[in-house]
Amino acid sequence: MRPDILTPLFRDISGLNGIGPKLSSYLKKLCGSTILDALMHLPVDVKKRTICTDVMPLNGSLSTLQVEVEEHIVPKIKRLPYVVKGQTNFGAIELVFFKYYGSYLTQKLPVGKRVWVSGKVDVVNASLKMIHPDYICFLPSDIPEYEVIYPLSAGMSGRILRSVIAQGLELLPDLPEEISGAVLESYRWPSWKEAIQIVHHPKTLQEFEATAPARMRLAYDELLANQAALLLVRQHIKQQGQKGQAYPHQKTFYLRLPFELTKAQQRCVDEISEDLASTERMSRLLQGDVGSGKTIVSVISALQVIAGGGQVALLAPTDILARQHFAKILEFLKGLDIKIALLTAREKGKERTQILSALVAGEISFIIGTHALLEKEVIFQKLGLAIVDEQHKFGVEQRLSLAQKSAGVNLLVMSATPIPRTLALTAYGDMDISILNEKPVGRQPILTRVLSERKISELVQKLKAQAQQIYWVCPLVAESEKTDLMAAEVRFKALQKVFGDKVGLIHGQMKADAKDAAMQAFVSGKIQVLVSTTVIEVGVDVPQAGIMVIEHAERFGMATLHQLRGRVGRGSDKAVCLLIHGRLSALAKERLAVLKDSNDGFKIAEADLRLRGAGEVLGVRQSGLPSFHFADLSEHAELLSMATAEVKQLLATDKNLTSSRGQALKNMLYLFQKDSAIHLLKAG
Ligand code: ADP
Ligand code: MG
């Protein structure tokens, strides 16, 4: 249950003054539906209002002035403005209104009285004019000196948003402190409540900066919540701890591979092998650049479990990938007495029933599949190892749900999105990490070229003369397959004019059979060019494909581009990646240049972090990285390690967060919406 003290923050914004159904629907789109969401809608800029008592305001500046009201000039026709004339220390002023009339203005600006107005002033020939003052008050102290600017959207004005947030600030509770006294004192941070107030109402320019104590404190709160969530998951997995069975390393199966393992692969195999051999439950991330050979590492690990009498499940994010894994693994394990099966949404009816009963009976040792594996009906006799491929496509809950199919399941998750260490800690603090930092030998380097979209027709002519197979990836138009598809279809038709029936199209809206057929036609060489949306991004392996064309490369994140590029250069032919772009910002130019010059996923990830800041590392969604409101991992590495230490220390003595400080930390989990961790705490 959410602590009562937080209740006001989770109220719906539609209950606030002046927020009708229409505004509340705009607000929901802009920032979310609760008061907390509104308070987490952070300003992007701040402006200063100069109080002008002695010095004449500058033309166009934002100024606060005292006015002695002399006369109201009511317009004869409604469309003309309402003008209030008065005197300031610097001469006459006209206050001009287009929207307000009558009683509101006579009340706010009574003739003969002195009032303070604030807004943008026009100074022409020593006469002053202010159109629609932002503030009209009797006391100057009612006008803030600094005013923040929020990101807005259609239908929402800064004035309304400021009023919503001001009302939200009134509801802020005094929360118990979760940060240790030593840390608070050495940084002289304000309380959580004061910090939120300062973020929205800074009293100086310094208070608005990212390095201001209020911001640092909130970043720290956020990192504490993030680390607590991860450590709780880790603790939960370890607690379910004793596996009951260890799977010692034994040479029961002899694998004949067409290649030798790289040193890095061997090291990762050994690390995993040791985990499996111990009685503690494994929770490990295998991180390796695209093409580094993660699959075989996981298969060798699977054999160790199967040899010990356990079952293994491999979870893949797409149907294409599951099928490809299945085919490859069959190939790897040819001649071994191991029963393998495939289960996706396409295995239905009798076939599915047979697979399910063979699984319960323990007849199937190794099952490969998609989300279909997570369903309740999928029951194992003894699942010993769950492997999650391209894990960023799955949520924490999904990875835990597979791991909960039997008691003490070992968990191996694989990711091809290399991320800098600090980020790895925030995203995967719940796991041990193995890194594949070496590619199999004999890979052709991929030549990357960046070219303008004006060169497309020239390029198509050149490609026509090539014998190599080509992937042609179409732009990311929206985060929706439907919209992206239009761009792909247009390109498909254009390429058909040149390549005839040697062009195929593949996209996420296609039925699985049709997708398979298209992929198969490409694998067999029946089609030379495969036009696609980003469905081919993950995992697909077609060694003969040598050319990767990506249109509107500037719209993709660096991690995605690197992933896509990794689809070629798998065979022995020279591979080329062509990044085609439209208009480029300086930043976009630099990002493409990094890709052109480097083929190392870790280096690219570091550059991405440096160029855009962690909050923006694209991919936040694609790579499964958490997105932060306040913390910026390129700046706050030190805060992060402090937060980790602090949470570890607290959890060591209070693992369910029941002490008073534990409960204070739990509040932060709610405020930063760490639902999976909260869920685990409830479970006890
Ligand atoms: P990823 O890490 O991107 O999942 P894969 O496991 O799909 O990479 O491996 C990419 C390709 O490299 C596959 O065709 C695989 O068979 C091959 N491969 C893996 N390890 C080696 C190796 N040590 N030497 C040569 N080829 C390898
Ligand atoms: Mg893979």
The mean pLDDT of 518-524, rounded to a whole number, is: 88
Any atom of ligand 1 within 6 Å of the Cβ of 300 = no
User: pLDDT band at 442, cuts 50/70/90?
Assistant: confident
The mean pLDDT of 74-92, rounded to a whole number, is: 90
Any atom of ligand 1 within 6 Å of the Cβ of 296 = yes
Atom number, ligand 1, closest to the C-alpha of residue 389 = 4
User: pLDDT band at 634, cuts 50/70/90?
Assistant: low
The mean pLDDT of 635-661, rounded to a whole number, is: 89
pLDDT reading at 270 higher than 50: yes
Model confidence pLDDT, tens digit, residues 375-429: 999 999 999 999 999 776 776 667 777 888 888 899 999 987 777 766 777 667 7
Above pLDDT 90, what percent of the chain? 50
Any atom of ligand 1 within 6 Å of the Cβ of 438 = no
User: How confident is the model at residue 683, as a pLDDT?
Assistant: 57
User: How confident is the model at residue 480, as a pLDDT?
Assistant: 62
User: pLDDT band at 486, cuts 50/70/90?
Assistant: confident
| Cα–Cα distance, 190 to 188 (Å, whole number) | 7
Give me the residues paired with residue 411 across strands.
283, 386
The mean pLDDT of 291-311, rounded to a whole number, is: 94
Q: What is the mean pLDDT of the chain?
A: 87
Decide if 414 contacts 268 (C-beta within 8 A). no
Q: Which residues of 339-352 are buried (b: 16+ CB within 10 A; e: fewer)?
A: ebbbbbebbeeeeb
Model confidence pLDDT, tens digit, residues 98-147: 876 678 888 999 999 999 999 999 988 878 999 999 899 999 888 888 98
Mutate which of 295, 387, 446 to test ligand 1's pocket (most atoms within 8 Å of Cβ)?
Answer: 295
Atom number, ligand 1, closest to the C-alpha of residue 442 = 25
User: pLDDT band at 477, cuts 50/70/90?
Assistant: low
Q: How many whole angstroms from 317 Cα to the centroid of ligand 2? A: 11
Question: In this predicted structure, which of 20-29, 205-214, 410-419 has the lowest mean pLDDT?
Answer: 410-419
Between 250 and 657, the higher pLDDT residue: 657
Q: Name the residue among 619, 623, 267 with its Cα closest to residue 437.
A: 267
Residue nearest to atom 15 of ligand 1 (CA): 293
Atom number, ligand 1, closest to the C-alpha of residue 294 = 2
Any atom of ligand 1 within 6 Å of the Cβ of 291 = yes
Q: Give backbone dihedrals phi and psi of 285, rounded to 5 degrees, phi first.
A: -100, 130
| Cα–Cα distance, 596 to 586 (Å, whole number) | 15
Measured at the CA of 501, the angle between CA 500 and CA 506, to 5 degrees, comes to: 115
Residue nearest to atom 5 of ligand 1 (CA): 293
Atom number, ligand 1, closest to the C-alpha of residue 260 = 23
Q: Which residues of 173-187 are buried (b: 16+ CB within 10 A; e: fewer)?
A: eebeebbeeebeeee
pLDDT reading at 614 higher than 50: no
| Cα–Cα distance, 497 to 53 (Å, whole number) | 73
Measured at the CA of 143, the angle between CA 142 and CA 146, to 5 degrees, comes to: 135
User: pLDDT band at 331, cuts 50/70/90?
Assistant: very high
User: pLDDT band at 156, cuts 50/70/90?
Assistant: confident
The domains found in the chain, sorted by start residue, are 4-45+162-208 (no CATH), 50-143 (2.40.50.140), 244-436 (3.40.50.300), 447-598 (3.40.50.300)
Q: How many residues does the chain have?
A: 684
Sign of the CA dihedral running 66, 68, 70, 74: positive
Q: For the purposes of burial, counting CB atoms within 10 Å of the CB of 586, is it exposed (0-12), middle (13-18) or buried (19 or more)? A: exposed
User: How confident is the model at residue 624, as a pLDDT?
Assistant: 44
User: pLDDT band at 612, cuts 50/70/90?
Assistant: low
Largest Cα–Cα distance in the chain?
A: 101
User: How confident is the model at residue 399, as a pLDDT?
Assistant: 75
